[in-house]
Chain A
Amino acid sequence: MDLTLAIIVTVVGASTPILIAALGELVVERSGVLNLGVEGMMLIGAIAGFVVQFHTGNPYLALLCGAAAGMASSLIFGFLTLSLSANQTATGLALTIFGTGFSALAGSSYSARPVSLMEPLFPAELAAHPVWKVLFSYSFPVYFSFIMVVVIWYFLHKTRAGLILRAVGENDQSAHSIGYSVIGVRYMAVMFGGAMAGLAGACFPLLLTPQWAERMTAGRGWIAVALVVFASWKPFRLLAGAYLFGLVMTMELYAKAGGGVLSIIPSELWAALPYIATIVVLVLISLRRDASTNAPACLGKPFLPSN
Chain B
Amino acid sequence: MQFRLEKRQEPSKFMAYATPVAAVALTMIIGAIIFSLIGYDGVGAVREIFLTPLTNSYKWQDLGVKAAPLIIIGVGLSIAYRANVWNIGAEGQYIVGGLCATGIALLTWGMTGWWILPLMMLAGMAGGMAYASIPALLRTKLKVNEILTSLMLTYASVQLIYFLIRGPWKDPMGIGFPQTRLFSEAARLPTIIPGTIVHLGVPIAVLVAIIAWFIMSKSVFGYRMRVVGAAPHAARYGGFSENKTIWLAMLVSGGLAGLAGMLEIAGPFQRMVPGFPTNYGFTAIIVAFLGRLNPLGVIVAGVVLAITFVGGEVAQTTIGLPNAATGIFQAMMLFFLLAGDILIKYRVRRVMPQTSTEVA
**Chain A residues within 8 Å of B, Cβ to Cβ:** 36, 76, 79-80, 84-87, 89-91, 93-95, 97-98, 100-105, 108, 214, 218-219, 222, 225-226, 229, 266, 268-269, 271-272, 275-276, 278-279, 282-283, 286-287, 291-292
Contacts and interface: CB of A to CB of B under 8 A. Distances in A.
Contacts of A222: 148, 151-152
A175 B126 CA distance: 49
Contact of A86 (B163, B167, B338): B338
Contacts of B327: 97-98, 100-102, 104-105
A292 B167 contact: no
A109 B33 CA distance: 21
B155 A272 contact: yes
Interface in B143-179: 143-145, 147-149, 151-153, 155-156, 159-160, 162-163, 166-167
B342 A85 contact: yes
Interface in B295-332: 322-328, 330-332
B347 to A, nearest CB: 14
B342 A94 contact: no
Given A101-B326, A108-B322, A226-B152, A94 B338 contact: yes
A101 B149 contact: no
B289 interface: yes
Contact of B147 (A36, A84, A86): A36
B248 interface: no
User: What are the 3 A-B residue pairs with the smallest beta carbon separation, nearest first?
Assistant: A101-B327, A104-B324, A98-B331
Contacts of A218: 155
Given A36-B147, A84-B342, A102-B328, A275 B335 contact: no
A105 B142 CA distance: 40
Given A275-B155, A283-B142, A80 B338 contact: yes
A269 B166 CA distance: 13
A279 B328 contact: no
Contacts of A105: 322, 324-325, 327-328
Nearest to B346: A85
B138 interface: yes
Given A222-B151, A269-B163, A272-B156, A94 B144 contact: no
A271 B149 CA distance: 17
B331 A84 contact: no
Nearest to B157: A272
B282 interface: yes
Contacts of B145: 229, 282
Contacts of B83: none
A278 B152 contact: yes
Contacts of B134: 279
A98 B138 contact: no
10 contacts: A86-B342, A90-B285, A95-B331, A97-B286, A98-B335, A101-B325, A268-B166, A269-B163, A282-B138, A292-B143
A76 B338 CA distance: 11
A278 B156 CA distance: 11
Nearest to B338: A86
Contacts of A90: 285, 289, 334, 338
B168 to A, nearest CB: 11
B166 to A, nearest CB: 8
Given A86-B342, A87-B341, A282-B145, A275 B331 contact: no
Interface string B63-80: 000000000000000000
B88 interface: yes
B159 A272 contact: yes
B290 to A, nearest CB: 11
A69 B332 CA distance: 17
A271 B335 contact: no
Contacts of A87: 338, 341
A102 to B, nearest CB: 6
Contacts of B211: none
A68 to B, nearest CB: 17
A201 B162 CA distance: 26
Contact of B331 (A94, A219, A279): A94
B127 to A, nearest CB: 17
B207 interface: no
Nearest to B326: A101
A283 B144 contact: yes
B339 interface: yes
Nearest to B329: A101
A110 to B, nearest CB: 11
B335 A108 contact: no
Nearest to B143: A286
B109 interface: no
Contacts of B339: 79-80, 84, 86
A287 B142 contact: yes
Contacts of A100: 327
A101 B149 CA distance: 23
B163 A282 contact: no
Contacts of A226: 148, 152
A291 B144 CA distance: 10
Contacts of B282: 97
B36 to A, nearest CB: 14
Nearest to A287: B142
A225 B86 CA distance: 15
B304 to A, nearest CB: 15
A29 to B, nearest CB: 12
A89 B322 contact: no
Contacts of B323: 104
